[in-house]
A and B are shown apart, each in its own frame.
Chain A
């Protein structure tokens, strides 16, 4: 359960303060998904980093599982814009980074996660030896390695080709069903938001405020991309994004 109340995030102080997020209130129930979509530079990453405990909210409060977020949490995993892999660590080390940092030797489940993501064969490779799609999958594997309650993703599939992107989205849905985490997905890809968000929040240009909330109850159904419900949500999101822009 993620709960944001009147969250404001500002960069800098005094006259030079830049407000990136302006009084956002929203919640994600346990096991549910939320997509955040908005124009470039509106404050999506800022909001996500605040939820991840990497930057402090200037005002308001952010709670995960009822606790105020004061720093990175063990039960929360973050996937960065470019997967954030360390070039000097192998796929296996990158995927199990959180566990290795906590001095826990990754259990057998670590290999199972890599297998789920189709990365078993490249376990001992370095990121520079992987394709972009593989790198993103390693990012997902890292997030899954700690069996988190909450997964936060900042444009995890940006700049991939359509088919690779859709394949990873399908894979992600499967993982979500199996591992039962809640997730917040930041994206500027309308179809991705409609495919992965049970609820989609459209943000205004900077400073980000909630412009519209679109419910997407049929998300996750078989062949959802081909359904008319999906088309309708995509259409609605486009209209909301263009409204007043």
Chain B
């Protein structure tokens, strides 16, 4: 009990409790505003298209979401799990490798040409080949997203590692840092804020790749993830939109998680003196 309380206080200290409520209020206002736009767009399109429903209105969509609740929820979890797993795999491999390549000049000369040749090829191009070789199972879908994000994080980590101020490196080396400690105490923290930004970009990108992975080949409306769910309901707009909104919610959840992580691990960036 006491322990939980202390953990709670630790957490709140780190996210600055006063701003949490503000954030929630801003989010609520934004959601309301977006719903309003949506409603207006829906009405306008219906009027232009002679009364046919192309863009379902928010109320209808929410009602569909509730009606399809369990099925939608199941697919939500499948997609979320795939996306998070892919991001974790890409982050834990692409980030360190990018830092190494960016900082160690020899390695850079060796590996960067390879990266530049492979990176611009759209990884989705391999999707069918991967499906043919490995089948359309869960691992292949995760792998496709992970590969795409891996390159993205690798390239940005490499760029960030190259921009590190030599002064910081000199300062820890003169304080006796080993090679590994230079990474641990300078290169890693110096690149962390911008890598978290790349990670946010990755969420959007990963979502797009996941959609492609989940809609290529056969679609399974029950266990195929949100992509399959949307594609399968393409012609009943209310249901398709329920799936789209679920995807938006998934993205939002991940952004919030990244924000919270950033507040905890990049605390120093919130202390700088900023002009008004």
Contact = CB atoms under 8 A, between A and B. Distances in A.
Contacts of B170: 49, 54, 80, 84
Contacts of B181: 101
Interface size class on chain A is: 20 to 34
Contact of A86 (B171, B174, B176, B273): B171
A88 B189 contact: yes
A80 B177 CA distance: 16
Given A101-B185, A129-B271, A82 B167 contact: yes
Given A72-B176, A88-B268, A102-B176, A128 B171 contact: no
A14 to B, nearest CB: 19
B268 A97 contact: no
A157 interface: no
Contacts of A87: 268
A49 B170 CA distance: 10
A86 B168 contact: yes
A176 interface: no
B172 interface: yes
A199 interface: no
A128 B167 contact: no
B271 A101 contact: no
Counting chain A CB atoms within 10 Å of each CB, the highest count among B168, B175, B266, B271 belongs to: B175
A54 B174 contact: yes
A125 B178 CA distance: 26
B271 A72 contact: no
Interface in A57-74: 72, 74
A172 interface: no
A72 B180 CA distance: 16
Interface string B175-192: 111100100011001101
A86 B271 CA distance: 14
B268 A80 contact: no
A128 B185 contact: no
A97 B172 contact: yes
B173 interface: yes
A89 B171 CA distance: 13
A177 B268 CA distance: 35
Contact of A128 (B172, B174, B266, B271): B271
A172 B186 CA distance: 28
A78 interface: yes
A158 to B, nearest CB: 14
A139 to B, nearest CB: 9
Given A54-B170, A84-B167, A86-B189, A97 B175 contact: yes
A159 B45 CA distance: 64
* 4 pairs of A and B residues whose beta carbons are closest in the complex: A84-B171, A88-B189, A78-B174, A98-B175
19 contacts: A54-B170, A54-B173, A72-B176, A78-B171, A80-B167, A80-B170, A82-B167, A84-B171, A84-B174, A85-B171, A86-B172, A86-B189, A88-B189, A88-B268, A101-B175, A126-B267, A128-B272, A129-B271, A142-B175
Interface of A: 49, 52-54, 72, 74, 77-78, 80-82, 84-89, 97-98, 101-102, 125-126, 128-129, 142
Given A80-B167, A82-B167, 5 more contacts: A77-B174, A80-B174, A86-B189, A88-B189, A128-B272
